[in-house]
Chains A and B, each alone.
Chain A
């Protein structure tokens, strides 16, 4: 075969380049469409861009946040009929250990409501909280787990991280956190830590700002009545060990939990600290399973079952030392009473108790 003329050769090279560019653009377009359909596309009902949700609870105060373009009248009413008006989303002068109902009115109509219970002062008080992890996916599973959490009537929620997939960027948070969990967040604050998907975007700042979380990169301490949460962030590294020791040394709370995204593994130096300060349990995520283990003498729950799903099972293998290991979606209910963690129950997305543990 004779060589084609130079012009044809040039045309051919150009055609090759254009074809490759077109193929690349096709891939890019398909990726954008898939991402848009899976992650971004959702309607916004009502006047609120983001319905009010509880972020902080103290013995005599409570704080809510929301997003709307315009004024909101936020009121709370206690069991005795006492009425309170929030200033800047904050209620002050409340009674400790009391459940208040709140309403948020816009344009003379109540568009959102919920309730919260102020932190009880009694160290023996009953407290219930829910634990979720790896949930921020906006899937039907997350919505179902959100409804299960609402049914628990928790005082607060603990998050084990990976609050928003694929990344915890501001525009995705409504789809991934605030809509699926709207009903439970209207009644209980979410105190969560940060996983890889949170930290990859501005170090988790968007989630921390939205949920009004203290600390940096998901590391902080939070107390609610008799419960002390030591929230470590991504993993129990040497800085986390020092932080946990500092908090646990100071706290007077009788019931202590450590929250971390990646489960603590045997041999981690933090285990000695947790044993010394009688930590009730480690609450973790990362692995998209529910697992109950005893690691270095410390009870550990992995609750990476909030909605994202196990995906490829090769990524989601059961821990060899797990006393219970499940692939079901669900959340952990923790009941505290008499200054102790009384019971743990893993409730799946259908409302079934699949694991119950009483220390």
Chain B
């Protein structure tokens, strides 16, 4: 679902911008909130890509789900939130790019 990908991209973008513009530890609050929202939306995205099955998109959604968790826990764990947010952002257009390359 494109709408879910857009929402996920926006959340990742907000988290990334927050990491770039706001200093720690305030930026961790943004990472926590964006991470939790990303986790919920990515769960929907996984379901959307599972039926009908679109393997690449499903993989990206599952990876985004993991990124959401990592982002939310980045204040407690050693995961660098800026890298996680960047990865989550890059994952959103990935299925479309892969599809285009195949054609």
Which A residues have a C-beta under 8 Å from some C-beta of B? 4, 8, 11-12, 15-20, 22-24, 27, 312, 314-315
Contacts and interface: CB of A to CB of B under 8 A. Distances in A.
B40 A23 contact: yes
Given A4-B52, A27-B36, A22 B25 contact: no
A12 B39 CA distance: 19
A24 B25 contact: no
A315 B25 contact: yes
B1 interface: yes
Contacts of A27: 36, 39-40
Contacts of A4: 52
Interface stretch (B41-49, B79-87, B90-98): B41-49
Contacts of A22: 43
B14 interface: no
The interface residues of chain A, by DSSP majority, are classed as: helix
B26 to A, nearest CB: 9
A64 B28 CA distance: 45
Contacts of A19: 43-44, 46-47
B51 interface: yes
Contacts of A24: 40
Interface of B: 1, 4, 24-25, 28, 36, 39-48, 51-52, 75
A22 B40 CA distance: 8
23 contacts: A12-B48, A12-B51, A15-B48, A16-B4, A16-B45, A16-B48, A18-B47, A19-B43, A19-B44, A19-B46, A19-B47, A20-B40, A20-B43, A20-B44, A23-B42, A23-B43, A24-B40, A27-B36, A27-B39, A27-B40, A312-B25, A312-B28, A314-B25
Given A12-B48, A15-B47, A23-B42, 15 more contacts: A4-B52, A8-B51, A11-B51, A12-B51, A16-B1, A16-B47, A18-B47, A19-B43, A19-B47, A20-B43, A23-B43, A27-B39, A27-B40, A314-B25, A315-B25
A4 B53 CA distance: 12
B75 A312 contact: yes
B40 A314 contact: no
